[in-house]
Amino acid sequence: MHYYSTNQQAPLASLEEAVVRGLATDKGLYMPEQIKKLPKEFYDGIAEMSFQEIAYRVADAFFGEDIPAEELKHIVYDTLAFDAPVVHVDGNIHSLELYHGPTLAFKDVGARFMARLLGYFIKNDNVNENEDCNVRQTGEVNVLVATSGDTGSAVANGFLGVEGIHVYVLYPKGKVSAIQECQFTTLGQNITALEVEGVFDDCQRLVKSAFMDAELNAHMRLTSANSINVARFLPQAFYYFYAYAQMKRQGKEGELVICVPSGNFGNLCAGLFAHRMGLPIKRFIAANNRNDIFYQYLQTGEYNPRASVQTIANAMDVGDPSNFARILDLYGHSHADICRLIGGATYTDEQIAETLADTYHRTGYLLDPHGACGYRALSEMLQPGEQGVFLETAHPAKFRDTVEGIIKAEVAIPEKLQAFMRGTKQSVPMTAQFEDFKAYLMSV
Ligand SMILES: *Cc1c(COP(=O)(O)O)cnc(C)c1O
């Protein structure tokens, strides 16, 4: 299958080119040329299938032409080495818990899949060295990733131990929580953490400059693992199908509304792809924090990106959501079509805190600040007869200080997180000057 750019100014790319490049040469986002509908038999039998079986069928529709079946199956099964249960919260509202992976956030799915796919391509290229393709050079691939917290841990853990790949995580000194920091600074092996004297934007600038530096690119193979990569965002479609299957098992799949706490909109976009593949979802709701650029777009038809503001649901503090271009492309830039399928909501920190505390005290279910936006949107917008599922995108313990402050009680830390916290922090101090970062990379 080929991938085109949302800007329409770049040549079609193969899957491998799209994955290695991340962003198209015209700065657009890659889209698969086809989104195949899955057959009726698949939907008829979906309730009896496992998460991995379902995911393999979905993966085959996108990647089956490019990856041998056995390899793809292995990649999918190895990626999804954990569950994503739908848990009833109250009334017609359910939580799709996407925090059972190694770093307790949904980004584990995309990061693990991408790491394994890239690992497969590298292995394959090193076997077929003489094949002629401009992205094919042999040798180690270096993944550069800037993080304000969650992305770094998901990417670092997703790529941990994958042969042929080295990951450099750049994070702002003193700006990520201790729990987040230990998830990417204690790993060792093929993961190096760089503690940057600056803010997140500095980290991002260093990474972007590195990709544009000719000398550096001649010296080493560089790639990114950010959320716009097709290998990270498409696999997120898997759990929408699995959520449907679980609702169907309970006879509650009739009028399904899925609510997605959104920042860069990769997660929602994957759900829209699932819908395009025939998954019977009645409608979607995108829940925003105060960074409500998408919500405003739904209201007015105008897209006005602006600087992000800090909130307690900080993984959604995005002022110019990158996957918006994919949503526009998917619906032919029709505001009316987008509004028919997707509703919006926006909440202040006070409302998020109120929802988190109230839901906990009333039902015993502990939300994280992102999931709280999703829960609240369903509680306000669900119509009679509809069943709602919101994506619980991270475990509340990842935001322990915030959550404990809100519920006035202790949050138990899952064993997986405790294990990270027992590790020894190792990171390389780095200034925010590109010359220093470049000199470091040239020397390793
Ligand atoms: C990344 C993230 C989001 C936002 O997801 P997008 O795909 O960027 O919209 C929401 N919640 C958590 C916990 C996240 O880490």
pLDDT in tens, 33-75: 999 999 999 999 999 999 999 999 999 999 999 999 999 999 9
Q: For residue 128, what pLDDT is reported?
A: 64
Confidence of residue 140 (pLDDT cuts 50, 70, 90): confident
**pLDDT computed for residue 358 by the predictor:** 98
Residue 426: the pLDDT is 96
Give the pLDDT mean for 203-232.
91
Q: Is 370 in the pocket of ligand 1 (CB under 6 A)?
A: yes
User: Which ligand 1 atom lies nearest to the CA of residue 267?
Assistant: 7
- Does any ligand 1 atom lie closer than 6 A to the CB of residue 263? yes
Q: Is residue 137 predicted with pLDDT exceeding 90?
A: no
Atom from ligand 1 closest to the CA of residue 269 = 7
Atom of ligand 1 nearest to the CA of 371: 11
Percent of the chain's residues with pLDDT above 70: 97
Record the tokens describing residue 272, joined without a space: 């829209």
Query: Given a cut of 50, is residue 174 above it in pLDDT?
Result: yes
Q: What is the pLDDT of residue 191?
A: 97
Is 147 close to ligand 1, i.e. is its CB under 6 Å away?
no
Residue 40 known to be catalytic: no
Question: Would you say residue 291 has pLDDT above 50?
Answer: yes
> Is the distance from the beta carbon of residue 267 to the nearest atom of ligand 1 less than 6 Å?
yes
Q: What ligand 1 atom has the least distance to the C-alpha of 266?
A: 7
Q: Pick the more confident residue, 259 or 225.
A: 259
Q: What is the mean pLDDT of residues 247-264?
A: 97
Whose CA is closest to atom 14 on ligand 1? 315
Would the CB of 154 count as within 6 Å of ligand 1?
no
**Per mean pLDDT, which range of 127-136, 304-313, 431-440 is the poorest?**
127-136
Rounded distance from Cα 169 to ligand 1 centre (Å)? 18
Task: Check residues 57 and 421 and name the one with the higher pLDDT.
Answer: 57
To 5 degrees, how large is the angle CA 294–CA 301–CA 386? 60
Categorize the per-residue pLDDT at 118 as very low, low, confident or very high, splitting at 50, 70 and 90: very high
pLDDT band per the 50, 70, 90 thresholds, residue 132:
very low
Q: Go through the chain and tell me how many residues it has.
A: 444
Per-residue pLDDT, averaged over 320-346, amounts to 97
CA of 268 to the centre of ligand 1 (A): 10
57 lines ligand 1 (CB under 6 A): no
Ligand 1 pocket check for 264: Cβ under 6 Å: yes
Confidence of residue 134 (pLDDT cuts 50, 70, 90): very low
* Mean pLDDT (whole number) for 370-385: 98
Which atom of ligand 1 is nearest to 265's Cα?
A: 9
Burial tier of 41 (Cβ tally within 10 Å: 0-12, 13-18, 19+): exposed
Tell me which of 27, 36, 107, 175 is the catalytic residue: 107
Q: What is the DSSP string of 153-197?
A: HHHHHHHTT-TTEEEEEEEETTTS-HHHHHHHHS--TTEEEEEES
Mean pLDDT of 69-97: 98
The rounded distance, in Å, linking the Cα atoms of 174 and 149 is 11
Q: How far is the CA of 367 from the centre of ligand 1 (A)?
A: 14
Checking if the pLDDT of 212 tops 60, the result is yes
Q: How far is the CA of 86 from the centre of ligand 1 (A)?
A: 18
Distance 71 CA to ligand 1 centre (A): 29
Q: CA torsion sign, 211 to 306 to 258 to 95?
A: positive
Q: Helices H, strands E: what count in the chain? A: 20, 13
Q: Please classify residue 440 by burial: count the beta carbons closer than 10 Å to its beta carbon, then call 0-12 exposed, 13-18 middle and 19+ buried.
A: middle
Question: Of 356, 370, 373, 403, which is best to mutate to test ligand 1, by the most ligand atoms within 8 angstroms of its C-beta?
Answer: 370
The domains located in the chain, with CATH, are 83-105+233-412 (3.40.50.1100)
Q: Does ligand 1 lie within 6 Å of residue 246's CB atom?
A: no
User: Could you identify the atom of ligand 1 that is nearest to the CA of residue 368?
Assistant: 13
Could you tell me if the CB of 148 is within 6 A of ligand 1?
Answer: no
